[in-house]
Amino acid sequence: MAPVSVVALALLVWEYLIPLGIVPGVRAQYLGTPSGIAEAASELLRNGYGGHGLFDHVRASLFRTVTGFLIAASLGVPLGIVLGYNQRMGAFLLPIFGFLRPIPALAFIPIVVIWFGIGEFAKIFVIFMTAFLYILLGAVSGVRSVPADFFRLSQNYHLPTWPTLFRVVLPSALPEIFVSLRTAMALSWAVVVASELIAAQVGLGYLIQSASQVYAINKVYVGVALIGIVGVTIDMLFLFIERRMLHWVGR
């Protein structure tokens, strides 16, 4: 009951005390209220925003995120396994990917606009770049964490390269690969807001940006809350899949 009481107290303070202007340096009308957020959510559900229904914005953001993530995973996992297994290829290519990974997605946006314009492909490409680097380097790390005894065992049985990768390397590296996939998915969902700054007309990022420009702060809060709710749901789905596929981990 204690957490519920704390949340209830915080909501009461937000509803009745914050509007009195007790937060220095910020106008009270820009802080919103729980009742105002609930009213804004109801209005968005009824009328949508910018000519699109509320769930159209959610679907658009999900489509961009999932598309960019799936392309990144389909390329990053196999390439990461190969680079982790082949020391020579890894020594040549991994410094390049390691240099690119710390660069935030926002830094890529002007370059992507110059390369691909402001269409849907540009938005998906920003998400792809973010997810791809984390997935690839996570797969490399997973392969390089495989115990050396596993490789000696495969050599004793004279396993060729591909059976070694599929029967020895991949099962051992899967836990770390799943961690990188889960992290990349969370980052992809966060980056979708940045990608939708590229002249988007639908999506949660567009809703937040457009509402903030007209100081519709309660609608901004609704958009932020939806991003959080969907993000938590996606993370729980990944945890469920991970537990089903890697049920033997930790036993």
Structure tokens, 223: 């958009």
47 CB contacts (<8 Å, ≥6 apart)? none
pLDDT tens digits for range 169-194: 777 788 888 889 999 999 898 888 87
Residue 14 lies inside a defined structural domain of this protein: no
- Which residue matches tokens 């009213």? 39
Residue 23 lies inside a defined structural domain of this protein: no
pLDDT tens digits for range 135-146: 998 888 888 887
In this prediction, residue 1 carries a pLDDT of 55
Residue 55 lies inside a defined structural domain of this protein: yes
**112: containing domain:** 49-245
Which CATH number is 153's domain given?
1.10.3720.10
Residue 39 lies inside a defined structural domain of this protein: no
**Whole-prediction pTM value?**
0.84
Cβ atoms 117, 126 nearer than 8 A: no
For residues 208 and 217, what is the distance between their CA atoms, to the nearest angstrom?
9
Q: Which residue has the higher pLDDT, 20 or 125?
A: 125
Residue 210 lies inside a defined structural domain of this protein: yes
* φ/ψ of residue 49, rounded to 5: -150, 135
Confidence of residue 21 (pLDDT cuts 50, 70, 90): low
Residue 22 lies inside a defined structural domain of this protein: no
Of 7-16, 43-52, 139-148, minimum mean pLDDT range:
7-16
Residue 10 lies inside a defined structural domain of this protein: no
3-state helix, strand, coil in the chain (%, to 5): 80, 0, 20
CA angle 112, 118, 122 (to 5 degrees): 45
Cβ atoms 197, 209 nearer than 8 A: yes
Cβ atoms 125, 116 nearer than 8 A: yes
pLDDT tens digits for range 235-245: 899 888 888 87
Q: How far is CA 5 from CA 14, 69, 177, in A?
A: 14, 39, 40
Count of the separate structural domains present in the chain: 1
